[in-house]
Homo-oligomer: A and B are copies of this chain.
């Protein structure tokens, strides 16, 4: 059996990226962390932490981290079942989320559950299904379509996206009207390779299916900034871009032409009880901020 104290130290080191950060997190001295990690490494006969800045996990370290996460989930379930006899563990709860959810409606939902700590994993690559299956995250906000067996799937509603660009950019590329060809020629701003929002929108708006020229910028806010700078056209949730449009920094490419993407809150059935409060908060926040499905 792995010493849980050592496991906590390892997890904290990998979470914070440094021994000192871990010490602060666990309210111990840096020395204690160092000793715990070292003894664990000695016992196992393998390095667990690469002493880099930030500290990174070796293969064995990563596996142990997963183990820590799994145990933390078991503890949560136990605490839920025992009904308050046991204090809720104060290790952060790992949840996968979509970048745009994080940038718009998600934080208020999390804020509504003040007795939990969160460790958010931004799901750049549509990994959530795999993460859920492996138990690497306790729950996930995913796009529709990736239902995971063994998970409760709560439909949250849809994020409404608007396509926009800088006024000068519109003048340059769309002076003669917005067509599929012109949209294909103008450089787009895409979150990453998995992101097909733009293509969907172009098809919905024009019926065409052009091959898009695009930049890849894996950070939601950076995309709006890039658009303001005139680098390309992008798509973001209405709540993010509407103020910028109102201020004249951006213009909508086709007025009123929005695209809705349904979101799902997926909770492995095992964790249902332990995360009941969170699920309730999610659904409530989504009801207020998202478009009904």
A interface residues with partner B (beta carbon < 8 Å) = 1-2, 4, 8, 44-46, 60, 63-64, 67, 70-71, 74-75, 78, 81-82, 85-86, 89, 149-150
Contacts and interface: CB of A to CB of B under 8 A. Distances in A.
Contacts of A60: 82, 85
B67 A78 contact: yes
Contacts of A86: 2, 44
Contacts of A78: 2, 63-64, 67
B1 A85 contact: no
Contact of A82 (B8, B63, B81, B149): B63
A121 to B, nearest CB: 21
Contacts of A64: 78
Nearest to A60: B82
Nearest to A75: B1
Contacts of A63: 78, 81-82
A82 B2 CA distance: 12
A68 to B, nearest CB: 10
A75 B150 contact: no
Contact of A45 (B46, B74, B85): B85
Contacts of A70: 74
Contacts of A46: 85
Given A4-B4, A60-B85, A74 B75 contact: no
B81 A74 contact: no
Contacts of A81: 63
A38 B4 CA distance: 21
A88 B54 CA distance: 32
B85 A44 contact: yes
Contacts of A89: 1
The 3 closest A-B pairs by CB, nearest first: A44-B85, A67-B78, A70-B74
A182 B51 CA distance: 81
In this complex, the member of A67, A75, A150 whose beta carbon has the largest number of chain B beta carbons within 10 angstroms is A67
A86 B41 CA distance: 11
A44 B75 contact: no
